[in-house]
Amino acid sequence: MATLPSRLLDVKQLPNSAAVRVQDTSALDVGVQYLALSHCWGSIDTIKLTSTSLVKYYSSICHDELPRTFQDAVLVTRRLGFRYLWIDSLCIIQDSEEDWKRESAKMGDVYRNSTCCIAALAARNSEGGCFSLRDPTRYFTCKLGRSGNYDLSWLANQILDSLTTPMAPLIEMKNRSGLVPGSSRKRFLHHEHSTTIQTCFIGNATS
């Protein structure tokens, strides 16, 4: 059974509140599913879990306190029907050397064991957001099907059906040998056949 990170963000939306909170995973079932955000910190200061903010953030983090990339990741998590999200700056105590060493050592497992990793490719910092405007006539999607035990088309359709805005991501397929023929190299859903990793890359590819 996969080991959970020590903390996750509980993004369950309560009536009249868009707030999230930090949750210890010791009280959760070991098989709980979560999403993880891969993002660029950039040069600007971003919201962090620290020894000072610990008590407050375990109680509530106001939606407006979150930078745009984090807000978008919370939106994707909720729209896909998941309750928990892992973001490094809010799930590792940033001013604790002990906590940082322990949690950073298992960061690879955190991403590997996530149900889906949200990769904000276009954002140069935490305010860049997960979505970018695009001309839909310039790109086309490839057909996603079943790979092993994972129905990739279901996950892609969940994303596209739930994000009904002009900034909805184009979902494409990338396998270990590279992008499929005709790919725009802009946005894709990545399924690593040797692991359980599925990554939704959103934004403009950097290479």
Let me know: does 71 contact 87? Beta carbons within 8 Å. Answer: no
Give CA–CA dist 74/20, Å, rounded.
Answer: 9
pLDDT (tens digit per residue) in 26-73: 989 988 999 999 888 888 888 999 999 999 999 999 999 999 999 999
Higher pLDDT, 88 or 199: 88
Find tokens 């086309």 and name the residue: 140
Confidence of residue 177 (pLDDT cuts 50, 70, 90): very low
The residues spanned by each domain of the chain are 7-107, 136-202
pTM of the model: 0.68
Let me know: does 17 contact 104? Beta carbons within 8 Å. Answer: no
